Amino acid sequence: MQRWTQRSVPCCGFAIVAEVLVAMSGGVDSSVAAALLVDAGHQVTGVTLKLWGGETDSGCCSVSDVDDARWVAHALGIEHHVFNLGNEFNEHVVDRYVTDHARGLNPNPCIECNRHIKFGKLLDRADLLGFDQIATGHHAGVTDAGDRLYLTRGADRAKDQSYVLHMLGQRQLRRLRLPVGSMTKADVRRIASERGLLTAEKPDSQDVCFIHSKGGRKSFLGDRIPLTSGTIVDGSGEQVGTIESVELVTIGQRRGLDVGGNPGRRYVTGIDRSANIVTLGERSGSMRDRVRIGELVWSQDPVSGQVQAQFSAHGSTHGGVLSSPTDGEAILRWDTPQVAVAPGQSVVFYDGDRVLGGGIAG
* Ordered DSSP codes for 266-305: -EEEEEETTTTEEEEE-GGGGEEEEEEEEEEEESSS---E
CATH number 3.40.190.10 is the correct assignment for the domain at 227-281:
no
Superfamily of domain 289-361: Translation factors (2.40.30.10)
More confident residue, 65 or 74: 74
For the chain, what is the largest distance between any 2 Cα atoms, rounded to a whole number of angstroms?
A: 70
Looking at the DSSP bridge assignments, the partners of residue 81 are: 47
Lowest mean pLDDT among 26-30, 83-87, 250-254, 317-321: 250-254
Whether the Cβ atoms of residue 152 and residue 141 lie closer than 8 Å to each other = yes
> In this predicted structure, what is the pLDDT of residue 254?
82
Torsion of CA 207, 57, 140, 331, to 10 degrees: 30
CA distance 86 to 53: 7
Quick one: pLDDT band at residue 284, thresholds 50, 70, 90?
confident
Share of the chain above pLDDT 90, in %: 74
Q: What is the pLDDT of residue 4?
A: 33
Instruction: For residue 297, count CB atoms less than 10 angstroms from its CB and return exposed for 0-12, middle for 13-18, buried for 19 or more.
Output: middle
For the chain, percent helix, then strand, then coil, each to nearest 5?
25, 30, 45
Residue 33 has pLDDT above 70, yes or no: yes
Distance CA 6, CA 151 (A): 14
pLDDT of 58? 60
The pLDDT, as a whole number, for residue 208 is 86
Q: Which fold has domain 19-194?
A: Rossmann fold (3.40.50)
What proportion of the chain, given as a percentage, has pLDDT over 70?
A: 92
**Catalytic pick among 12, 60, 110, 209:** 209
Average pLDDT, the chain: 90
User: Is pLDDT of 55 > 80?
Assistant: no
Strand order in the sheet with 43-50: 79-84, 43-50, 19-23, 133-135, 176-177
Tens-digit pLDDT profile for residues 147-203: 899 999 999 999 999 999 999 999 999 999 999 999 999 999 999 999 999 999 998
Q: Do domains 227-281 and 289-361 have the same CATH topology?
A: no
Q: Model pTM greater than 0.85?
A: yes
CB atoms within 10 A of CB 14: 20
The verdict on whether 209 is a catalytic residue reads: yes
> At residue 37, does pLDDT exceed 60?
yes
The per-residue pLDDT for 12 is 42
Q: How confident is the model at residue 1 (pLDDT cuts 50, 70, 90)?
A: very low
pLDDT at position 260 over 50? yes
Going from N- to C-terminal start, the domains of the chain cover 19-194, 227-281, 289-361
- Is the per-residue pLDDT at 59 higher than 70? no
Contacts of 49 (CB under 8 A, 6+ apart): 23, 25, 82, 83, 85, 117, 118, 122
Catalytic member of 12, 61, 110, 113: 113
The runs of H, that is alpha helices, within the chain are 28-39, 63-76, 86-89, 95-102, 109-113, 122-129, 170-174, 185-194, 216-222
Q: Residue 263 pLDDT > 60, yes or no?
A: no
- State residue 17's pLDDT score: 79
Q: Are strands 149-153 and 140-144 parallel, antiparallel or unpaired?
A: antiparallel
Using the predicted structure, report yes or no on whether residue 10 has a pLDDT greater than 60.
Answer: no
Please say if the pLDDT value at position 258 is more than 90: no
Q: How confident is the model at residue 52 (pLDDT cuts 50, 70, 90)?
A: confident
Q: Is 12 a catalytic residue?
A: no
Distances in Å between the Cα of 253 and the Cα atoms of 25, 150, 159, 245, 316 are 32, 34, 24, 14, 18
pLDDT grade for 213, boundaries at 50, 70 and 90: confident
Q: Cα(119)–Cα(241) distance, rounded to whole angstroms? A: 44
Confidence of residue 56 (pLDDT cuts 50, 70, 90): low
State the Cα–Cα distance between residues 171 and 190, nearest whole angstrom: 33
Task: Please answer whether residues 140 and 160 qualify as being in contact, where contact means their C-beta atoms are separated by less than 8 angstroms.
Answer: yes
Give the residue among 83, 107, 78 at the shortest CA–CA distance from 95: 107
